[in-house]
C-alpha cells in the first residue's frame, strides 16, 4: 500500500507538471489583450520539465523492485529500461526533456512564435511517451493509446490554462476577453475528456471473468477494489469541478464590472478541485485494474475504504470461494439512498446559491464537499 501511495504522488506530480507546461506555453501564444497580465517564472517551467522524467522513473523503479526477488536490482532495472514499454517510454521522455530545457532557456521564448511552438511540440511528444506506457495503451493495439492521449491532453489543456491564470495573474484585467475564448475551449476539452474517458474506463475495467458483462456491471464490480473506489470518487468530484467551471465561465460574466468581484479566487477554487481530481486519478492509475475481481480480492483484498463502510457478504464470499467464478456486485436503492441523493442535490443548489448570491468561497466549497459525500454514501450504501 505504501508503494502505491508513493507512486501515486509521483503520478500526481506528472499531471501537475504537464498541466503547467502546456498551460504556460499556450498562454504564451495568446495575444496580451486576450488574457490577464500573467507572470510565469522561468524557474517554474524548468522545474516542471525536470520533474517529469524524475516522476516518470518511479513506476520503472517499482517494477524493478517487484521483479527483482533478491536478484541484482541494477540488472533487472537495466533490462526494464531497455526492453519494457514503460522503460523505453521513460528513456524517450528523458531525451525529449533535455532538448526542451535548452529551448526553454532561450531568451526570446515569450516573444518568438517558432520557439513557443517548438517547446509545445516537445511537451506533446513527452505526453505521448507517457500515455503510450499507460495501462489502457498496453493492453490494446491502438484504442487505449488514442483514448488515453485524448483524455489526458484535453484535461491538461483545460486545467493547465486555468491553473496558470488563476495562480499567476496579477489582476483581473482582460478577464472578460480571456473568458470569451477560454470558456469554449474548456467546454470542448471537457466533452473530449468525458468521451475519451468513457472508452478508456471501458478498457481499464473490462472483465476477464465474465466476457458478457456490461460496462455498468463491470463498474459496479470494480467498486469493491481500490481502483473502483477511486473511479467513483473521481466521477463525483468532477461534478463539483464542472459546477465551478460553469459558475466561473458563464454565471460570473455579468459581474465583471463589479469592483467587489474577484474572479481569481473563484478560478483558484476550480483549480483546487482539479488538483483533488488529479490526486484521485493518480491513485487510481497506480491501483490494480479490476479485470479479474475474484483473483484480485483473493490476493490483494478489498478496498479498505469499501470494507469500512460495507456490511454485506460479497467480499467474504469471494475470499472463501474454492474456485474462480463470476461474482457480480449489485446496487439497490431504498429510501435511505434516495434521501442521500436528495440531500446531495440540495447541497448542489446551495453551492450555486452561495457562489452567486452570498459570494462566499468558503460556503461554496463546504456545500460542494457535502454534496460529494452525500452522493458517494448514497451509492456505497446501496451496494448489495
CA dihedral 168, 171, 172, 175 (to 10 degrees): -50
Is the pLDDT assigned to residue 258 strictly greater than 70?
no
pLDDT digits (tens, 9 = 90+) for 265-280: 888 888 888 999 999 9
As a whole number, mean pLDDT of residues 300-312 equals 85
Q: What is the pLDDT of residue 34?
A: 92
Q: What is the pLDDT of residue 238?
A: 92
More confident residue, 68 or 254: 68
As a whole number, mean pLDDT of residues 40-55 equals 94
Q: What is the pLDDT of residue 259?
A: 63
Instruction: Identify the helix (H) or strand (E) that includes residue 312.
Output: none
Q: What is the pLDDT of residue 195?
A: 95
Is the pLDDT assigned to residue 184 strictly greater than 60?
yes
Domain ranges across the chain: 1-191, 205-384
pLDDT digits (tens, 9 = 90+) for 129-139: 999 887 777 77
* Residue 5 exposed, middle or buried by CB count within 10 Å (0-12, 13-18, 19+): exposed
Confidence band of 294 (pLDDT split at 50, 70, 90): confident
- Candidate ranges 139-143, 265-269, 312-316, 379-383; pick with highest mean pLDDT: 379-383
Q: Are the CB atoms for 200 and 227 separated by under 8 Å?
A: no
Confidence band of 18 (pLDDT split at 50, 70, 90): very high
Q: What is the pLDDT of residue 6?
A: 80
More confident residue, 333 or 321: 333
Radius of gyration from C-alpha coordinates of the chain:
22
Q: What is the pLDDT of residue 268?
A: 87
Q: Are the CB atoms for 207 and 221 separated by under 8 Å?
A: yes
> Mean of the per-residue pLDDT values for the chain?
87
Confidence band of 251 (pLDDT split at 50, 70, 90): low
Confidence band of 319 (pLDDT split at 50, 70, 90): confident
Residue with cell 505526453: 127
Query: What DSSP string describes 131-143?
Result: HHTSHHHHSSSSH
Is the pLDDT assigned to residue 229 strictly greater than 90?
yes
Alpha carbon 209 to its chain's center: 28
Is the pLDDT assigned to residue 1 strictly greater than 60?
no
Tell me which of 126-130, 157-161, 309-313 is least confident. 309-313
Residue 124 CA to residue 202 CA, distance in Å, equals 25
Other C-beta atoms closer than 10 Å to the C-beta of 264 total 17
Q: What is the pLDDT of residue 350?
A: 93
Q: Are the CB atoms for 379 and 309 separated by under 8 Å?
A: no
Nearest to 355 by CA among 236, 267, 238: 267
Is the pLDDT assigned to residue 57 strictly greater than 80?
yes
Other C-beta atoms closer than 10 Å to the C-beta of 352 total 17
Confidence band of 257 (pLDDT split at 50, 70, 90): low
Confidence band of 227 (pLDDT split at 50, 70, 90): very high
As a whole number, mean pLDDT of residues 138-152 equals 86
Q: What share of the chain has pLDDT > 70, as a percent?
A: 94
What the block records as the C-alpha cell of 25 is 506555453
As a whole number, mean pLDDT of residues 199-225 equals 88
Is the pLDDT assigned to residue 348 strictly greater than 90?
yes
Q: What is the pLDDT of residue 252?
A: 66
Q: What is the pLDDT of residue 213?
A: 83
β-strand partners of 38: 169
Q: Are the CB atoms for 200 and 148 separated by under 8 Å?
A: yes
Confidence band of 325 (pLDDT split at 50, 70, 90): low
Confidence band of 151 (pLDDT split at 50, 70, 90): very high
pTM above threshold 0.85? yes
Amino acid at each position: 500500500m505504501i508503494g502505491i501511495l508513493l507512486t501515486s504522488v509521483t503520478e500526481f506530480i506528472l499531471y501537475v507538471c504537464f498541466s503547467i507546461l502546456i498551460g504556460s506555453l499556450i498562454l504564451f501564444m495568446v495575444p496580451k489583450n486576450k488574457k490577464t497580465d500573467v507572470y510565469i517564472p522561468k524557474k517554474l517551467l524548468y522545474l516542471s520539465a525536470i520533474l517529469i522524467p524524475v516522476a516518470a522513473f518511479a513506476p520503472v523503479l517499482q517494477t524493478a523492485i517487484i521483479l527483482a526477488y533478491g536478484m541484482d536490482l541494477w540488472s533487472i532495472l537495466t533490462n526494464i529500461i531497455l526492453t519494457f514499454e514503460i522503460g523505453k517510454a521513460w528513456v524517450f521522455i528523458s531525451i525529449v526533456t533535455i532538448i526542451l530545457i535548452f529551448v526553454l532557456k532561450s531568451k526570446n521564448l515569450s516573444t518568438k512564435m517558432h520557439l513557443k511552438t517548438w517547446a509545445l511540440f516537445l511537451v506533446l511528444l513527452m505526453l505521448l511517451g507517457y500515455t503510450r506506457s499507460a495501462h489502457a495503451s498496453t493492453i490494446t493495439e491502438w484504442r487505449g493509446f488514442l483514448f488515453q492521449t485524448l483524455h489526458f491532453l484535453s484535461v491538461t489543456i483545460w486545467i493547465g490554462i486555468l491553473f496558470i491564470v488563476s495562480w499567476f495573474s496579477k489582476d483581473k484585467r482582460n478577464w472578460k476577453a480571456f473568458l470569451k475564448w477560454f470558456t469554449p475551449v474548456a467546454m470542448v476539452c471537457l466533452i473530449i475528456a468525458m468521451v475519451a474517458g468513457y472508452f478508456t474506463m471501458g478498457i481499464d475495467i473490462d472483465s476477464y471473468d465474465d466476457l458478457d458483462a456490461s460496462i455498468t456491471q463491470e463498474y459496479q464490480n470494480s467498486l469493491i477494489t481500490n481502483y473502483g473506489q477511486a473511479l467513483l470518487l473521481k466521477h463525483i468530484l468532477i461534478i463539483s469541478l464542472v459546477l465551478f467551471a460553469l459558475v466561473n465561465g458563464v454565471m460570473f460574466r455579468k459581474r465583471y464590472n463589479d469592483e467587489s468581484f474577484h474572479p481569481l479566487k473563484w478560478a483558484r477554487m476550480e483549480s483546487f478541485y482539479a488538483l483533488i481530481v488529479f490526486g484521485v486519478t493518480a491513485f487510481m492509475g497506480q491501483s490494480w485494474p479490476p479485470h479479474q475481481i475474484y483473483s484480485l480480492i483473493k490476493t490483494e483484498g478489498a478496498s479498505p475504504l469499501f470494507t469500512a463502510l460495507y456490511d454485506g457478504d460479497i467480499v467474504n464470499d469471494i475470499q472463501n470461494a474454492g474456485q474462480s467464478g463470476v461474482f457480480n456486485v449489485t446496487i439497490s436503492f431504498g429510501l435511505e439512498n434516495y434521501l442521500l441523493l436528495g440531500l446531495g442535490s440540495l447541497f448542489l443548489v446551495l453551492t450555486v446559491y452561495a457562489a452567486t448570491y452570498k459570494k462566499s468561497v468558503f460556503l461554496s466549497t463546504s456545500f460542494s464537499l457535502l454534496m460529494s459525500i452525500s452522493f458517494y454514501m448514497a451509492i456505497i450504501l446501496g451496494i448489495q
